[in-house]
Amino acid sequence: MIAAINHSRFLKIIINIAALIALAFAIGISVAYGAVDIKLSTVWQAVFEFDANLTNHQVIQELRLPRACGAALVGAFLAVSGAIMQGMTRNPLASPSVMGVTNGAAFTLVIMLAFFPNVSNLGLTLASFTGAGIAVVLVFMVGSYSSNGLTPAKLALAGVAIGTLLSSISSIISLHFHLEKEMSFWFAGGLAGTNWTSIQILLISGGIGLFMALMIARSITILSLGEDIASGLGQNNILIKILGIVSVLVLTGAAVSIAGTVGFIGLIIPHITRFIMGTDYRWIIPSSAIFGALLLVLADVVARLINAPFETPVGAITSLIGVPFFLYLARGSGGGK
């Protein structure tokens, strides 16, 4: 993993506040740019002095604001779940998309859409938790039956294999039940469908996950020193791991049920955060949330502007940003041995 810089506590707080301000500004930009460009001052008015008679205000309230907030939450959740996975497994490549978790969530989503077409949004979210869980269990099973345990290369390959298997079955189901359109949305990753209902689901389920993540942050720091050291310090590693996995499932499931398979955020952000914030997960987890939110809000703006008026899937944008980073990790600690 990348060596951390030891910033002072004061500097860390300043960096986080600066990132929060940048996030607020990014959300503003995200709301202002689109098919119709709206002035930032109008955005401000639409939020704080809402006038239902103005179309621009309605566009902002009903379409753009939920979308920007959705992007921020999804980015935050994916980043935090990547941070927990990397901390728990001490594996630099651990993250929701590399491990096929996002494909697992999409897999159960398509099953629900095919066999229970009248399912509620909450049902879809629950389904994607389950799917995320199936993928995690499968990857860890491959790991625990492997002769050398889960080396970074094995983790990546197991993720590719399980992701491919689950997404292949999903494609068959979607082809047979004519759900290609719905599913291509999830596999490409996008935030176009976000509305206030989805924000509520995100806030509740993701909030629980985030809370759990913060609760175990200190224990993850200790766990990231190695399991022997952690149990030597009297820590109940099994309990922490179970709590960690549950929060990963809740966070990833919530994110995927809203935005589909957005790749690499959960991989990049924790590394960047560790580089800036040091090795203490009490800092890494909240900062990952802020940085992840910032990155996905900006990626979503790029996704809308790069080929306007058509939308590019935001998952493609985050992949293009994430791949060079993945290659850097693969050349370094990931594939050094």
Assess 326 for contact with another protein (CB under 8 A).
Answer: yes
Of the residues 9, 181, 309, 337, which one makes contact with another protein according to CB under 8 A: 337
Of the residues 171, 195, 237, 279, which one makes contact with another protein according to CB under 8 A: 171
Taking contact as CB under 8 A, which single stretch among the options 17-25, 45-53, 249-257, 318-326 is the one that binds another protein?
318-326
Q: Measured between alpha carbons, how far is 206 from 247 in angstroms, rounded to an integer? A: 9
Q: How far is the CB of 311 from another protein (least distance, A)?
A: 8
Assess 142 for contact with another protein (CB under 8 A).
Answer: yes
Assess 146 for contact with another protein (CB under 8 A).
Answer: yes
Q: How far is the CB of 168 from another protein (least distance, A)?
A: 4
Shorter beta-carbon distance to another protein: residue 188 or 214: 188
Assess 100 for contact with another protein (CB under 8 A).
Answer: no
Assess 236 for contact with another protein (CB under 8 A).
Answer: no
Q: How far is the CB of 141 from another protein (least distance, A)?
A: 9
Assess 186 for contact with another protein (CB under 8 A).
Answer: no
Assess 200 for contact with another protein (CB under 8 A).
Answer: no
Shorter beta-carbon distance to another protein: residue 40 or 172: 172
Three-state SS string over the chain comes to CCCCCCCCHHHHHHHHHHHHHHHHHHHHHHHHCCCCCCCHHHHHHHHHCCCCCCHHHHHHHHHHHHHHHHHHHHHHHHHHHHHHHHHHHCCCCCCCCCCCHHHHHHHHHHHHHHHCCCCCHHHHHHHHHHHHHHHHHHHHHHHHHCCCCCCHHHHHHHHHHHHHHHHHHHHHHHHHCCCHHHHHHHHHCCCCCCCHHHHHHHHHHHHHHHHHHHHCHHHHHHHCCCHHHHHHCCCCHHHHHHHHHHHHHHHHHHHHHHHCCCCCHHHHHHHHHHHHHCCCHHHHHHHHHHHHHHHHHHHHHHHHHCCCCCCCCHHHHHHHHHHHHHHHHHHHHHCCC
Assess 55 for contact with another protein (CB under 8 A).
Answer: no
Q: Measured between alpha carbons, how far is 84 from 38 in angstroms, rounded to an integer? A: 38
Q: What angle do CA 86, 140, 157 make, to 5 degrees?
A: 80
Of the residues 175, 204, 225, 239, which one makes contact with another protein according to CB under 8 A: 175
Q: Site mask, another protein, residues 270-299, x = CB under 8 A?
A: ------------------------------
Measured on CA atoms in the order 128, 74, 103, 121, is the torsion positive or negative? Answer: positive
Assess 92 for contact with another protein (CB under 8 A).
Answer: no
Binding-site size for another protein (CB under 8 A) equals 49
- Candidates 278, 254, 253, 252; CA nearest to 266 is 252
Assess 323 for contact with another protein (CB under 8 A).
Answer: yes
Assess 104 for contact with another protein (CB under 8 A).
Answer: no
Q: Measured between alpha carbons, how far is 271 from 30 in angstroms, rounded to an integer? A: 25
Assess 152 for contact with another protein (CB under 8 A).
Answer: yes
Q: How far is the CB of 176 from another protein (least distance, A)?
A: 5
Shorter beta-carbon distance to another protein: residue 90 or 331: 331
Shorter beta-carbon distance to another protein: residue 131 or 263: 263
Contacting positions for another protein (CB under 8 A): 93, 142, 145-148, 151-154, 156-158, 160-162, 164-165, 168-169, 171-172, 175-176, 188, 263-264, 306-307, 310-313, 315-317, 319-320, 322-324, 326-327, 330-331, 334-337
